[in-house]
Structure 1
Amino acid sequence: MTAQVSDARLTDLLAKGTGEILQGIRGVGLLRGRNLGDAGDDLAQNWIARVLAQHRPDDGFLSEEAADNPARLGKDRVWIIDPLDGTKEFATGRQDWAVHIALVIDGEPAHAAVALPDLGVVFSSSDAQHVTGPLARKVIVSRNRPPNVADHIATQLGFTTEGFGSAGAKAMNVLLGDFDAYVHAGGQYEWDQAAPVGVALASGLHASRLTGEKLVYNQKDTFIPDLLICRPELADEILGLASDYLDEHGSF
């Protein structure tokens, strides 16, 4: 372990550097569509893996773009990353893609960063604060797979819903106060959630399963069925509405 780079700084630099790499390969315009997305995934993954191999060689590692090594399950410290969350959005010129970097210690995100490179910002758990004030009265959902439970919750609250791409982009829009809640059902993986949840929790937002169950990472099964990130004052009401929906429909 290289002592000169703290965990918090390494997390932030990984998010920032990955974002710059991805913007660079998109900016020159030599690749398009799926080729651009694949190149972004590969190059970002390779750079992150090399940095961690040099600076944190003893830590575990879990990434969407790498084969899972079960040895991580025996480690207290595990980096959970998505080098490019929202590959389709990145490849088609949209802004709602992100870089997710999280260091999970004993199942919880201890340090996390979410970069939104096209907006020129990195949200970090070391200094995250969510916006307070009047409610936006909006729920952010998946652009491609908006869940019915989100419509139910929004309707009962008198809110509207709007779709975005990356999970990180959706979560950070709640932190910014543009939306009051991010509701997801239909499944994600740990790399989709660990960094956004880490930043959200550090900022004072609520984050849990839609059942209210605590989110725990570095599990053998990396699939997580659902997610709620919201303003803390809305958490109990939203979880109650989700419970009502589950009782009526049997699933989210």
Structure 2
Amino acid sequence: MTGEDDHELAASLAAHAGQLLLDIRVQGGAEGDRQSNELLLRLLAQERPEDAVLSEESTDDPARLQNRRVWIVDPLDGTREYGEPPREDWAVHVALTVDGQPAAGAVGLPAIGLVLHTGEPPDLPVRPSGPIRLAVSRTRPSACADSLVARLGADLVPMGSAGAKAMAVVRGAVDVYAHSGGQYEWDSCAPVAVAAAAGLHVSRLDGSPLRYNNPDPYLPDLLICRPELSDAVLGALRAVGPEAAR
């Protein structure tokens, strides 16, 4: 990996972690979380020793708040789906923030052999005609989904992890991913980096900017959608106010 720029490094890290996760999938989600995290931390320490890291699977080190460059990683996004082979809707998130903004990122979808990253942003496919397609949790659709169905006539498309849902928008399989009810920075940072690089709208549900490397990494809501739909989606969410963010 030595010599790779930040975009290439993010993609390489996601690919390496994804391959490891495929190799050990029979060992289950807890072991996948642990081993993927160990691999990512070791490679980041080797390749970017001066940078800080915030990982879902590691104890938070407040020293990251003094560093301009912070890698935010989710070693296994969608532990439940990973533990239910042959499900494909799980991911690996690797992102670099600089001064609180995503600067590079990659989302690996190992089960389909794909890594989407900011070094080579994917082209956004043409949207087909028909109702807006909204990615939602297959087990716990959030309140904002009800609002979008009621006000925009959206069709729900259930799927697993946050990364899988966000990348479904990037890949053109759905049009909107709106989440309310709780997430952390590692759930959205890499997907937001990739989605923004691909030309998608990214924000909080109220339209405000997403900021990372905060003292409290809780970042409860998220909107990723096609740019031509952003006004309609934000308008529908604002019409119901705070209830949409529950």
User: Normalised by the shorter chain, which TM-score bucket?
Assistant: over 0.9
Q: Distance in 1 between matches of 2:181 and 2:137?
A: 10
Give ranges in structure 2 of 5+ residues lacking alignment. Answer: none
Q: Indicate conservation of the 8 Å contact 1:151/1:161, yes or no.
A: no
What code does the residue aligned with 1:204 have?
Answer: G
Distance 2:149 2:245 in 1: 17
Query: Which residue, 159, 166, 178 being the options, matches 1:164?
Result: 159
| Partner SS, residue 186 of structure 1 | coil
Tell me, yes or no, if the aligned pair for 2:147 and 2:244 is still in contact at 8 Å. Answer: no
1:88 aligns with 2:80: yes
Q: d(CA) in 2 for partners of 1:91 and 1:143?
A: 15
Which residue does 1:130 correspond to in 2? 124
Q: Which residue, out of 109, 114, 118, partners 1:121?
A: 114
Cα deviation for residue 154 of structure 1 reads 2.4
Structure 2 contact 221–245 (Cα < 8 Å) conserved: no
SS at match of 2:214: coil
Matched AA of 1:133: R
Moved more, 104-113 or 150-159: 150-159
Please state if 1:11 is matched with 2:10. yes
2: distance between equivalents of 1:173 and 1:142? Answer: 13
Give me the whole-angstrom Cα distance separating, in 2, the residues matched to 1:169 and 1:250: 22
Post-superposition Cα deviations, 1:42-61, rounded to whole Å, max 9, x if no partner, equal 11000111111111111010
- SS where residue 195 of structure 1 aligns? helix
Aligned to 2:231: 236
Give the direction of change, closer, same or farther, for the CA distance of 1:173–1:250 in structure 2 (3 Å limit): closer
**Distance in 2 between residues matched to 1:135 and 1:77, nearest whole Å:** 42
TM-score normalised by L of structure 2: 0.95
Aligned to 1:142: 137
- The answer to whether the 8 A contact 1:183-1:229 is kept is yes
Q: Which amino acid aligns with 1:85?
A: D
Deviation (angstroms), 1:4 = 1.6
Where structure 1 has 5 or more consecutive residues not aligned to the other structure, the ranges are: none
**Displacement over 6 Å in runs of 4+:** none
RMSD: 1.5
The 8 Å contact of residues 186 and 225 in structure 1, kept in 2 or not, is answered as: yes
Taking structure 1 as the reference length, what is the TM-score of the superposition? 0.92
The residue number in structure 2 matching 1:57 is 49
| Aligned pairs, number | 243
Q: Which amino acid aligns with 1:91?
A: G
Which of 12, 32, 47 in structure 2 is aligned with 1:40?
Answer: 32
Of the candidates 173, 183, 186, which is equivalent to residue 191 of structure 1? 186
CA contact (8 A) 2:144 2:245 kept: no
Cα 1:250–1:149 shift into 2, 3 Å: closer
Answer yes or no: is 1:107 the counterpart of 2:106: no
1:71 is matched by which residue type in structure 2?
A
**d(CA) in 1 for partners of 2:184 and 2:76?**
14
Structure-2 separation of matches of 1:81 and 1:166: 14
Distance 1:119 1:245, change over 3 A: same
Corresponding residue to 2:205 among 210, 220, 239: 210
What's the counterpart of residue 155 of structure 1? 150
CA distance in 2, matches of 1:245, 1:217: 26
